Structure formats: structure tokens, C-alpha cells
Amino acid sequence: MHHGKYRFIAGFLAGPLALYTVFVIWPFLQAVYYSFTDWTGLSPDFAFTGLRNYERLLDDEVFWKSFQHSVLLVVLVPLVTIALALFFAFMLNVGGRRRRGAAVTGVRGSAFYKIVYFFPQVLSIAIVALLFQFAYNPGNGAINAGLRAVGLDSVQPDWLGDPDYALWSVMAVLVWCTVGFFVVLFSAGMSSIPLDFYEAALLDGASRVTTFFRITLPLLWDTVQSGWIYMGILALGAEAFAVVQIMTVGANGGGPDYSTTVLPLYVYVKAFRDGQAAYATTIGVALLVVTLAFAAVVMRLGRRERLEY
């Protein structure tokens, strides 16, 4: 009966595995390979330079600044986004006042809020960044105009032009545009939690806060953990690159005075402006290490007993 089982399985696996090797594994290896050369990206010839690029990395002030900012982003942005999203999702699904006929319900108008929260998600990140660039305009932008409207004429920060605010302004945009996705994700997770649990808790007289921490969060933990990793990778990679590159000060973004530069932006600048593709791959390898380390830490910290229900 089991005769040839492994051959059968291998036959099915060979194709996907080959594709995976060619399009994922091989490019990764190549990137690492090129980080040991002096390839410019503008000519086919290059020479081996051993660990030179890595040595250079250690002394590169801009790299370390980018590194710090990326690490800050990967710690703070998921924390804030997920906390907010959990709060919103809880309010939308469980947090409402009790109404007739329903044990658990969201706040009034929750269907509408859900759409509002999700809306930024359908906009391209480039559009979001452009919109916020206008909103942050110190003279006629919406934010400073809002401050003026409520009588705060003296508080008119130059959001993106001031090194003290620039990185925070960027983080706010990242949170704004991703929180909606997690609201929907967590809402989906919450709706699969059996209602009986909530009813039992309510009968026992549990408050909303207790319900959240004792029922919702533990049963949602898997989703939160995946979301955490996903968000962290967004904050390390493509999304952070787009907002920083489009919004912030400097020839390629990253300013003022390198206050918002991040690793993917530095990869881009080195590869496409300075003609140092090999060095860019070196930074890319560093980014890979940070990303893997982040994922490993979150997996480790988040390890819990799985609850079956």
C-alpha cells in the first residue's frame, strides 16, 4: 500500500522546491556573494574584496544611524499599531453596551468605523506618504492649520524639517496606515471566539477590561503574534522605505541631518545613486540579519501554550 510513497511525495515537492530554490534561495545566496565584491552595478566587471565591505560597514556612521532608526521602528511601530488595533477591534466587536438579544456587541456604528479604519489600507503607501507630506507642510498643511484653528498659533512645529520631530512624524504615518488592517484581522479573530465564553464572563460580572485580558487576548494570541511579525517586517522594509523616501527631508529623504534614514533607504541610495551595488548588498545582508533576529525574538517571547477551543 505504502509502496513508492516517498517517490510520490518527492515528485510533488520537486517542482515547488526547485522554483523556491531558483527564485528565493539562490538570489539570497547571490546577494551574500556580491557583498564580498566591489561590484558597482554599472559595469559587468568586479573583483573580490573579501570582508572589506563589512569592515566599511562597521565604520559607517550613516549605516549605524539607519540601523538605530530601523531598530527603533521595529520595536515601537508594531507595539503601538497592535495595541491600538486590539483596542479598536475589541471596542468594535465586544466593547459595546449590552443591548437586547445580544450578549456581546460592538459600539454603536461599529460597521461604519470598521470601514473608516480599513480605508487607509486600500490606498497605496506612496499616496499616503504624499498626502501626509502635504498635511505636514509647516505653512499651509492641515495639521498646523488645525493647531491654529484651536488657537495654538504659537505651536507650529516644522514636522518633517525638524530632527526632533521628523522620525516620530514618519512613525505616526506608518501606524495610521496599517492599524486598519489589524483592526480587521483581529475582528476576524475575535468573531471566531465562541460567544459562550463571553456570556459566562458577563454572568460572573466581569468588566470589559477583565474580559479583554482574560478571554479575548489569550484566545487571539496566535493572530497577534503573526501580526506582530508582519508589522515588524513592514516597519523594517518596504513601508518604512516608502514613507521616509517620499516624505522626509534630504536629497533622497532620510533627513534632516540623517534623523530619519533607515536601512532599506540606505540600500537604495548606495545601489542607485552612488553606484556601489556591492556595498548595498552588504547593507541588505545586515537588514536580513536584523529581520531574522526580530522574527526569532518575537517567536521566542510569544511562545505560549496553544489553547484549543
Partner 1 sequence: MRSTSDHSRRDVIKRAAALGLVAVPAMSTLAACASSATGGDKVEKGEKSAANPLGVNGSAPLDVVIFDGGFGDQYAKDAQAVYRKKFPGAEVKHAATQKIQSVLQPRFNGGTPPDLIDNSGAEQMDLGVLVGKDQLTDLTPLLDAPSYDDPDKKVRDTLRPGVAEMGQFDGDPVHVLYYAYNVHGVWYSKTALDRLDAEYPQTWDDMLALCAKAKKKGIAGWTYAGKNPYYLSFSLFPFMAKIGGRQVLDAIDNLEPDAWRDPAVRSALEAYYELQRKGYVLNGTPGLSHIESQTAWTEGKALFIPNGSWVENESKATTPDDFELRVAAPSGLDGSDKMPAGTLWAAGGEPFIVPAKAKNPDGGMELLRTMLGEQSSKNFTRQVSSLTSYDGGTEGLSLPPGLTSAVDALDKAGDNIVNPRIKDWYVALWKEKVGGGLGEMMAGRITPAEAVKKIQAYTDEAANDDSVKHYQHQ
Question: Of residues 164-223, which lie at the interface with partner 1 (CB under 8 A)?
Answer: 185, 188, 192, 194, 222
* Number of shown-chain residues binding partner 1 (CB under 8 A): 76
Query: Which residue in 113, 249, 94, 235 sits closest to 177, CA to CA?
Result: 235
Residues 139-158 that bind partner 1 (CB under 8 A): 139, 144, 156, 158
Would you say 27 or 109 has its CB closer to partner 1?
27
* 271-300 residues near partner 1, rule: CB under 8 A: 271-277, 279-281, 284-285, 287-288, 291, 295
Site string for partner 1, 5-24 (x = CB under 8 A): -------------------x
Task: Identify which range of 84-92, 172-180, 201-209, 254-262 contacts partner 1 by CB under 8 A.
Answer: 254-262
Between 191 and 207, CB nearer to partner 1:
191
Please name the residues in contact with 285: beta carbons below 8 A apart, sequence gap of 6 or more.
31, 32, 35
If one asks whether residue 68 binds partner 1 (CB under 8 A), the answer comes out as: no
Exposed/middle/buried for residue 133 (C-beta within 10 Å: 0-12, 13-18, 19+):
middle
User: In terms of CB distance, is 96 or 163 closer to partner 1?
Assistant: 163
Q: Least Å distance between CB 197 and partner 1?
A: 11
Nearest approach, Cβ of residue 18 and partner 1 (Å): 17
Give Rg (Cα) of the chain: 24
Of positions 160, 183, 224, 243, contacts partner 1 by CB under 8 A: 160
Q: Taking contact as CB under 8 A, which single stretch among the options 95-103, 112-120, 138-146, 172-180 is the one that binds partner 1?
A: 138-146
Minimum gap (Å) between residue 240 Cβ and partner 1: 10
Per DSSP, the residues of the chain read: --TTHHHHHHHHHHHHHHHHIIIIIHHHHHHHHHTTB---SSSS---B-TTHHHHHHHH-HHHHHHHHHHHHHHHHHHHHHHHHHHHHHHHHHTBSPPBTTBSSB--TTHHHHHHHHHHHHHS-HHHHHHHHHHHT-TTT-HHHHHHHHTT-TT----TTTSTTTHHHHHHHHHHHHHHHHHHHHHHHHHHTS-HHHHHHHHHTT--HHHHIIIIIHHHTHHHHHHHHHHHHHHHHSHHHHHHHHHHSBSBTBSBSTTSS--HHHHHHHHHHTS--HHHHHHHHHHHHHHHHHHHHHHHHHT--PPPP-
**Piece in contact with partner 1 (CB under 8 A), picked from 85-93, 106-114, 171-179, 267-275:** 267-275
Among 19, 257, 296, 299, binds partner 1 (CB under 8 A): 257
By CB under 8 A, name the one of 96, 163, 218, 302 that touches partner 1: 163
The one among 30, 124, 207, 210 contacting partner 1 by CB under 8 A:
30
Q: Which of 237, 242, 243, 244 binds partner 1 (CB under 8 A)?
A: 237
172 neighbors 247 (Cβ within 8 angstroms): no
Q: Which of 51, 209, 238, 293 binds partner 1 (CB under 8 A)?
A: 238
Q: How far is the CB of 61 from partner 1 (least distance, A)?
A: 8
